[in-house]
Amino acid sequence: MKILVLNAGSSSQKSCLYDLSEPLPSEPPAPLWSAEIDWTDGKLQVKTASGKTFSTILPSHDRRAGMAQMLQTLWSGDTEVITNKAAIDAVGHRVVHGGQYYQQTVRIDAKVKSTIASLIPLAPAHNPANLEGIELVETLLGESVPQFAVFDTAFHSHIPDAAAIYPGPYAWVEAGIRRYGFHGISHAYCADRAAQLLGPDRRLINCHLGNGCSLAAIRNGMSIDTTMGFTPLEGLMMGSRSGSVDPGILLYLMREPGYDAAKLDQLLNQQSGLKGLSGVSHDLRQVQAAMQSGNHQAQLAWDVYIYRIRSGIGAMLMSLGGLDALIFTAGVGENNAILRSAVCQGLEFLGIRLDEGLNQMGQADREISTQDSRVKILVLHTQEDWQIAKSCWASRQ
């Protein structure tokens, strides 16, 4: 069964094709074909399992046209891996926000599309891109090809009300204003992978650290708390997002400089976090380089960034009542040894002991804690596309 996965973000479009059969492999297989578009520079890169590659700059900034060109490399050109588009049996989409409506993967129909559209105000940078991919597939492959929505919020849908409800008026509860959590597909993959490596029924804190950042407290494979909330803006400091701030600051900015909603949105989502505080970049590597040159703002941004992660770990720890493994994943978490070391410093009282030698080496999924560490420290390569493919496979009947 050939499953096409579309993972649309606000600044990128990733896609891959898996060929699956019963039983599913325990290890994530290499896809037959994978592709990525970086919308900032319009670059399309494609590679196949056989080693063929293709790269080009898209001639247009039209997202639908770019995605169509990307998908056509599946059945044409040097990167052809299927004879025609009819070979695709199902399509799985990452959808960021499912609200209170979806707690699991669902087959997409008109009602599902309408609901995803109704949730655009809660994820304006993501749900429109997700819908765009769904509609493009309908156009290219026809409505008879089953499509499935895999929701980032679904993994967190069983968080207890005490952790999910905001202490505002009860009318907020009735209106669905609550903490939903995000990065759920990544958190779910890492929970499954940790269970493979360590055994089931573990208490985990998963640190998804990329341009967007969130933590999840996971017990027995289920999320019981997370740092993101009603929107992906809550929680940790991120690349260009502020994370949690005193809401009184927003009231002050509305009263004094006279900011409107659009200005606040731009400020909190695009001009804050590492980028805003350092004045250098949203990219942690560039912030670290500036620190080494003696840049005070970069050093401050780093200090706040690490403090917020450690503070979040403390909050997740209280939800779990103990810890069996601390996991680092996503672009920063997987690749930045200095960050992992800084986060773990001072956590020895929790039984967390990092082996600096192991921390500095290796690329694959691995354990980087000392032999006498009571808490395992893992680095896992998150594979959201494989998690989406598995969810489609399980939901295909």
Report which residue type is found at 221: G
- CA nearest 386: which of 25, 87, 23? 25
152 is catalytic: yes
Angle between helices 261-270 and 247-255 (to 10 degrees): 130
Contact 284, 336 (CB under 8 A): yes
Catalytic pick among 62, 152, 372, 385: 152
With tokens 């493009």, the residue in question is 136
8 A C-beta contact, residue 30 and residue 3: no
Given the DSSP bridges, would you call strands 325-329 and 376-379 parallel, antiparallel or unpaired? parallel
Structure tokens at 46: 């494609």
Is residue 313 within 8 Å of residue 343, measured between CB atoms? yes
Tokens 């891996």, located at residue: 81
Amino acid at position 271, single letter: Q
CB 335 within 8 A of CB 328: no
Residue 290 neighbours by CB under 8 Å, 6+ apart: 278, 280, 297, 298
Angle formed at CA 283 by CA 230 and CA 38, multiple of 5 degrees: 80
Distances in Å between the Cα of 310 and the Cα atoms of 160, 298, 304 are: 23, 19, 10
3-state DSSP helix/strand/coil percent for the chain, to nearest 5? 40, 20, 40
Q: What is the DSSP string of 190-248?
A: HHHHHHHHH-SS-EEEEEEESSSEEEEEEETTEEEEES--SSTTSSS--SS---S--HH
Q: Which residues are known catalytic residues?
A: 152
